[in-house]
């Protein structure tokens, strides 16, 4: 009778900054950043939609760059600064203008795509505080939504951009 031994991967220590907080965690070298955020760090705001980088539901920023966290390994977070949807609200719990405008414009339904859309919209507005409708549509093109039809999402982002410019 042949005996097989289960191989265990050595976990890697990672030091990073997530939403302004210094965080250390251990992860398997093959574990995605999405899995680390959800399973290891209990930050379940970031959602898995497709697992292949096609839907944008798991969008986060890494060192200011918008990425699908399902395509980034957790070990790649070493020394990086990561922003997730959990970090959008202010320290006093006040919603970010984008979050408020998504609610006001009813720009969400089932909620799977919403965190990724919010992160993508925040990334867009950080680089272009006064986008046209076409620029918003282009900036959010990597985020798929099966429920809303996008009209209210685009209105919410444009309204938030106007509010943020006037603040």
Q: Which fold has domain 12-87?
A: Ubiquitin-like (UB roll) (3.10.20)
pTM, 2 dp: 0.92
CATH number of 97-166: 1.10.150.120
Q: What is the pLDDT of residues 87-126, one digit of tens each?
A: 999 989 999 999 999 999 999 999 999 999 999 999 999 9
Look at 65 and 148; give whichever has higher pLDDT: 65
Confidence of residue 149 (pLDDT cuts 50, 70, 90): confident
Confidence of residue 2 (pLDDT cuts 50, 70, 90): low
Confidence of residue 152 (pLDDT cuts 50, 70, 90): very high
| Domain boundaries, given as residue ranges, for the chain | 12-87, 97-166
Q: What is the pLDDT of residues 23-37, one digit of tens each?
A: 999 999 999 999 999
How many percent of the chain have pLDDT more than 90? 91
For the chain, the DSSP string reads --------PPPEEEEEEETTEEEEEEE-TT-BHHHIIIIIS--TTS--SSSSSSS-TTEEEETTEEEEGGGSBGGGGTT-EEE-GGGSS-TTSPPPHHHHHHHHTT--SSSSSHHHHHHHHHHHHHH-SS--HHHHHHHTTT---SSS-SHHHHHHHHHHHHHHHH-
């Amino acid at each position: 009778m042949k005996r097989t031994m289960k191989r265990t991967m050595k976990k890697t220590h990672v030091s990073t900054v997530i939403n302004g907080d210094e965080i250390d965690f251990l992860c398997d070298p093959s574990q995605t950043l999405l899995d680390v955020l959800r399973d290891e760090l209990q930050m379940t705001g970031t959602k898995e939609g497709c697992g292949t980088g096609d839907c944008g539901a798991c969008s986060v920023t890494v060192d200011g760059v918008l990425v699908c966290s399902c395509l980034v390994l957790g070990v790649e977070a070493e020394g990086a600064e990561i922003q997730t949807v959990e970090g959008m609200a202010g320290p006093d719990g006040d919603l970010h203008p984008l979050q408020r405008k998504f609610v006001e414009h009813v720009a969400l339904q089932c909620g799977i795509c919403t965190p990724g859309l919010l992160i993508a919209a925040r990334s867009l507005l950080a680089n272009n505080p006064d986008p046209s409708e076409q620029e918003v549509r282009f900036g959010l093109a990597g985020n798929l939504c099966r429920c809303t039809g996008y009209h209210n999402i685009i209105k919410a982002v444009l309204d938030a951009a106007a509010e943020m410019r006037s603040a």
